[in-house]
Amino acid sequence: MIISELFGVRGYSVIVTGGASGIGLGYVEALASGGARVTMFDLREDRITEETTRLRSSGLEVSGKVVDVTDHAALERAVDEVAAEHGRLDVVFANAGIDPGPGFLGAWVGGERPRFADGALEKYTDERWNRTIDVNLNGVFATLRAAARHMRPRHSGRIIVTTSLASERCEPAIGTAYMVAKAGVAHLVRNVALELATYNITVNAISPGMFVTNIGGGHLKDPAVQSEFARMIPMHRLGLPPDMYGLALFLASPASAYVTGQQIAIDGGFGLGSAD
C-alpha cells in the first residue's frame, strides 16, 4: 500500500442515509470529494434536489433517492438499485436520525437550565417513543442488514453508523427514547462487527458531540444556545459538518482496514467533562 493512497476512496460506491442535511451531508461531501460515487437516501426530496444540484455543479458524482429508513422493504430496494447501478457497494453510512424534543431539562441559558413539564416521562407519548426507536434504532438495523446482503458475498465493505455521545451518557435536553436508541445502536455496531469481521467487513461508529445541523428543528443554530454549549465544550465551539470529513474518510478508506467494532467520539472534548 502506498501511504499517500491510504485515504483513497476513488470509484467507491457509497450510500449515506439522512445524507441531504447536516452530518450526513458532511459524509457525502467528504466521500464525493475523494472521487466516490455517492447516493444520499433521505426523506426530504427538496433537500436532495438542492444538495445534489450544488455538488454536481462542482463536478462531484452525487445522486439521491427519496427513502424512509423505517420502510424496510423500500430501503432494501433502494440499496439493491444502487448496488446494481454501480456494480458494487463499498461503503454504507447508517446516519439518518431524529430528535423529537424536548427532554426534561432545557439548554443552559444565562446559567439556568429550566425543567420542561412537557418533556417529563409522564407526558412521553407512545407515538414519540415508537417513532424515535423506529428511525434511530430499527432504521439502522435495517440499513446494516441491507448492506450486509451485498457486502458479505464480496468479502469486502465498510459500514459506519452515526451514534451520539448520548449512547454513553444522559443528556436531559434530549428525549428518553433517543438515549435508548443510540445506546442500542452502539452495541448493535459491536455485535455486527464481530459477526462480519471474518468477511473483511468493518463496522464502526462515529459518536458526535454537539453539531450545528437541522436536527430538532435546528435548535443548535440559535446563537444563545450555541454560546452556552460552547462555554462547556473544552474546545469552546460546536462542531460543523466539515469537522466530519477526516473521520468519515478514515473509516471508509484503506487507512482503517484493521479497525472494527469501535465508536469514535468527535466532540471537541465534550465527553471528557468541563475544563474551565
Q: Which residues form the interface with ligand NAD (CB under 6 A)?
A: 17-18, 20-24, 41-44, 47, 67-70, 95-98, 135, 139, 162, 164, 208, 210-211, 213-215, 220
- At 122, is the secondary structure helix, strand, or coil? helix
Q: Which CB atom, from 51 or from 90, has the smaller least distance to ligand NAD?
A: 51
Minimum Å gap between C-beta 199 and ligand NAD is: 25
Phi-psi category of 217—alpha, beta or left, where left has phi over 0 and alpha has psi -120 to 50?
Answer: left
Contact 248, 206 (CB under 8 A): yes
Q: Which CB atom, from 22 or from 102, has the smaller least distance to ligand NAD?
A: 22
Asked if 27 is an active-site residue, the reply is no
Minimum Å gap between C-beta 5 and ligand NAD is: 29
Helix (H) or strand (E) segment spanning residue 209:
none
Q: Where are the beta strands (DSSP E) in 12-111?
A: 13-17, 37-42, 62-66, 91-94
Minimum Å gap between C-beta 145 and ligand NAD is: 15
- Cα 89 from Cα 66, distance rounded (Å): 18
Give the count of beta carbons closer than 10 Å to the beta carbon of residue 198: 9
Question: Which residues are registered as beta bridge partners of 93?
Answer: 16, 160
Q: Which CB atom, from 8 or from 239, has the smaller least distance to ligand NAD?
A: 239
Q: Which CB atom, from 164 or from 202, has the smaller least distance to ligand NAD?
A: 164
**Residue 217 amino acid letter:** G
Minimum Å gap between C-beta 217 and ligand NAD is: 9
- Candidate list 12, 124, 178, 245, residue with the active-site label: 178
- At 274, is the secondary structure helix, strand, or coil? coil
Catalytic residues: 178
